[in-house]
Structure 1
Amino acid sequence: MRDPQAEPSDLIRSVSRALRVLEAVGQSPRGLTVKQIARRCDFTVATTYHLVRTLAYEGYVIRRENGTYVVGLEIADRYRELVLAFRGPSAVTDRLRRAAAETGYSHYLGRFIGGRIAVTAAAEGPRTPPMDELVPGYDDAAHATALGKALLATMSADQRWRFLKEYGMRAYTSATLTSPEALDSDLAAGDRRGMQIEIGQFRQGLACAAVMVVNDRDPDRRVVLACALPPAELMSSAKVVRTRLLATAHHLATVLAE
């Protein structure tokens, strides 16, 4: 959500409008006509037509035979560039893949980006069910994932409560913690444990554990490592999981410091 008070004095309206058109089209996989885009963005049809034509010329939207527009392949190129920028040196990806291969668990890196929590790199393991939600990008379920909890735990209580007020605490399962007080208690337990965890809070039949890689004074430099695994394995082998995560985190910290 945009903050009107944060609007820059030199805002270029045409750029802002073009981005709103992209957002509208991206949220509609079936495609939208120019008139539908205009209604959703609250623009005139003439303005929307010019914006859409420009975006189509640049490859950011595509016009289909039925007259609707969908996102173009240029978006995919920008996404790939974003993923490369997020994940850092190739050695980071190599180490994540090695950890995933050795344990069978999918591994993830996360950090703060622009005040939000994001997954920045991922390596799938064969013993973890595929999760489309945990791919590089913003993590809207920070309160329900171990990765998100590990970063939330680095905030002060006031900072964390403001974060939760802004982004909410959606109930993903019946086990999801949906109050700041319950989350605070859970994070404190994770600190004592030396590892943040969640069991069935994000998805039923799945657990996740996370540890810090870099805990810097600058929030944007903080990095966490998480892995997803079957709940029974986390409950029976929590110490083993923590030991492996900490070893991988130590290696990653060395790589990121180079």
Structure 2
Amino acid sequence: MRDPLAEPSDLIRSVSRALRVLEAVGRAPKGLTVKQIARRCELTVATTYHLVRTLAYEGYVSRREDGTYVVGLEIADRFRELVVAFRGPAAVGDVLRRAAVDTGYSHLIGRFVGERIAVTALAEGARSPRLDDVVPGFDDAAHATALGKALLATLGVDQRLRFLKDHGMRAYTTATLITPEAFETDVAAGDRRGLQLEVGQFRGGVATAALVVTADRDLERRMAVACVLPAAEMMASARIVRTRLQSVARALAEVYAADLG
């Protein structure tokens, strides 16, 4: 939700309204009519019509034969650009793909973007359960994944509690930690073992393990790497997973250090 107190004095209303229209259409995969968009965005039909026509001309929304609008192909292009920007140096992808091939497990990188946690790169492994909702982009399940725990562990206690309060602690499974107290205990245990992990907290039968790649003073330069594996394999080989992840983290740290020059 936008903070009205943070609204810039030079806000361009037409741009703001166009983005609200785009967000409304994006949240409705079945499409919306101009009147439906107007109601959801609290705009007049005439204003909405002009905004939708402009967005359609630019390719950001598309009109279907039944008169409804859905997101356009330009959104896909912007998403690909976002993924490239998130990932960083091309060698990052090489490191992740090599790790996925060597272990058979999917590997992913996450970092802070603004005040949120985002998955910024991903390489899928043949032995890992497929998680269709784990893709590059913002992660709303940080409290239920090892990747999120590893990054949140770099914050102070007060910062961490504020993050959990702001983003909530949705129960993805019956094993999901849904109280700050339980989360703090879990993160502390992860710090002691040198590996943040979760088993069945995000998806039943699936486990993730993660550790920090860089713990820079700058929040947005902090990164973590994680792997995804069947829960049964995590219980049997946590130490091996930690050793392999440490190797991947060192390789990634070298890549990012070389990129910063």
For 2:215, give the aligned amino acid.
N
Aligned to 2:154: 154
Aligned to 1:221: 221
CA offsets per residue over residues 77-123 of structure 1, 9 Å max, x none?
00000000010111100110010011111000000001100000000
For 2:190, give the aligned amino acid.
G
Contact 2:205 2:232 in 1 (8 A): no
Equivalent-residue separation in structure 2 for 1:89 and 1:255 (angstroms): 7
Aligned to 2:197: 197
Instruction: Give the aligned length.
Output: 258
For 2:220, give the aligned amino acid.
D
Structure 1 residue 132: deviation in Å?
Answer: 1.6
Question: How is 1:129-148 mapped onto 2 (pairs within 5 angstroms)?
Answer: 129-148=129-148
Equivalent-residue separation in structure 2 for 1:179 and 1:110 (angstroms): 23
Aligned to 1:66: 66
Structure 1 residue 232: deviation in Å?
Answer: 1.3
Aligned to 2:39: 39
For 1:239, give the aligned amino acid.
R
Aligned to 1:174: 174
Aligned to 1:27: 27
Equivalent-residue separation in structure 1 for 2:130 and 2:53 (angstroms): 37
Equivalent-residue separation in structure 2 for 1:5 and 1:206 (angstroms): 42
Q: Which runs of 5+ in 2 are unaligned?
A: none
Equivalent-residue separation in structure 2 for 1:15 and 1:167 (angstroms): 27
Aligned to 1:240: 240
Equivalent-residue separation in structure 2 for 1:64 and 1:133 (angstroms): 27
Aligned to 2:88: 88
Structure 1 residue 128: deviation in Å?
Answer: 1.0
CA offsets per residue over residues 195-229 of structure 1, 9 Å max, x none?
00000000000000001101111110000000000
Moved over 6 A (4+): none
CA offsets per residue over residues 141-183 of structure 1, 9 Å max, x none?
0000000000111111111111111110000000000000100
Aligned to 1:112: 112
Structure 1 residue 39: deviation in Å?
Answer: 0.5
For residue 125 of structure 1, give the secondary structure of its aligned residue in structure 2. Answer: coil
Structure 1 residue 74: deviation in Å?
Answer: 0.2
Equivalent-residue separation in structure 2 for 1:218 and 1:89 (angstroms): 19
Structure 1 residue 6: deviation in Å?
Answer: 1.1
Structure 1 residue 44: deviation in Å?
Answer: 0.5
For residue 67 of structure 2, give the secondary structure of its aligned residue in structure 1. Answer: coil
The reply on whether 1:18 has 2:18 as its aligned counterpart is: yes
For 1:47, give the aligned amino acid.
T
Aligned to 1:101: 101
For 1:45, give the aligned amino acid.
V
What CA RMSD, in Å, does the superposition of the two structures yield over aligned residues?
0.6
For residue 237 of structure 1, give the secondary structure of its aligned residue in structure 2. Answer: helix
For 2:156, give the aligned amino acid.
S
Aligned to 1:121: 121
Structure 1 residue 124: deviation in Å?
Answer: 0.4
Equivalent-residue separation in structure 2 for 1:186 and 1:253 (angstroms): 26
Structure 1 residue 233: deviation in Å?
Answer: 1.1
